[in-house]
Amino acid sequence: MLFHIRHALRYAYERPVFLEPTVLRLIPRSDPAQQLIHHGLSIHPQASGSSRVLDANGSEAVVLWFDALQDSLSIEMDLVVRTLRSNPFDWIVSDPAARRLPATYPADETLSLAPCLAGAEPIDAAVCRWAADRAAEVEGDTIRFLGHLADTIHQGFHHIGRPDGEPMAAADTLASRTGACRDTAMLYVHACRSLGLAARFVSGYSMHHPEEVSEHELHAWAEVYLPGGGWRGYDPSLGLAVADGHVALTAAPDHQLAAPVSGRYRGTGVTSSMHYAVEVRSAETLEALQALDRDRPLQLPKAEEWLRG
């Protein structure tokens, strides 16, 4: 599957501020599941300097820095990605200790996976009990559990669109049975970690529209590590194993480290606003994707319209 994605953000400040170094995690991964074909990035005002780097989690990022005061910051990305994994189950679990729950990993992998395991942060007791009950329903089978957990959240929770704010605590999402995609993703991550599985948070895009979302926007899901399978995606808000309908930007043990944009500004008492637009289009071939673009140009709000909004 081929994706053409455009993502634009506008930050406006009520008066000029000093922008601290800003990290953009807006370069899709190139890995066994997807191939980056084209990536265009436009920044206004132009940064005083920039550097493409690998961040702490191995994701490619761009660091921007500015010398002068700014009253706005515009970021626009245009990309084409080919997704490669039509079968999300093309793997085996090569280590018997990871086939049943609670899972364990070989010592060398455990060291590398430590930030994504239960010891990285406390897991609420209610989440642990709930996860254990879901595991019991599939007789402790790891592979069945991963699909069952995603389906349970998809079928049994009220999914909402919530454009602003941090993910809710996993215990709060569980108690309310309500959450946006980033909330259910973190619940999935914590549930897996409580049973010994290494799990992390993923930011990206999906061609699938959750029922609670009327238009494309950033999406969040989870990845779980299994010996022999590597990192495999599960989307609890959609109730599926991730295949070629998702494009991953970045993944990290902590959702803040998977944020597409991270940065701060200095300005006493200055308020700010953010506006964004995302368009995702898919086709089977590059020629079909180009035809789509010719037939219906992408419509994103003009910068001045966003800033007025």
Q: Write out pLDDT tens, residues 123-176.
A: 999 999 999 999 999 999 999 999 999 999 999 999 998 877 889 999 999 999
Asked if 118 and 211 sit in the same domain, the reply is: yes
CB 33 within 8 A of CB 3: no
Asked if 115 and 57 sit in the same domain, the reply is: no
At residue 307, does pLDDT exceed 90? no
Asked if 159 and 298 sit in the same domain, the reply is: no
Asked if 119 and 228 sit in the same domain, the reply is: yes
The predicted model scores a pTM of: 0.92
In the structure encoding, which two tokens stand for residue 171, read together?
């215990």
Asked if 101 and 80 sit in the same domain, the reply is: no
Residue 132's nearest CA partner among 183, 47, 191 is: 191
Q: What's the CA gap between 73 and 56, in Å, rounded? A: 25
Over residues 179-205, the mean pLDDT reads 97
Q: How confident is the model at residue 297 (pLDDT cuts 50, 70, 90)?
A: low
Enumerate residues 6+ apart whose C-beta is below 8 A from 229.
91, 92, 93
Provide the residue range defining the domain that includes 234.
96-243
Q: How far is CA 67 from CA 52, 78, 125, 308, in A?
A: 19, 26, 48, 25
Q: Percent of the chain at pLDDT above 90? A: 81
Task: Give the pLDDT confidence of 59-104 residue by residue, as tens digits.
Answer: 999 999 999 999 999 999 999 999 999 999 999 999 999 999 999 9
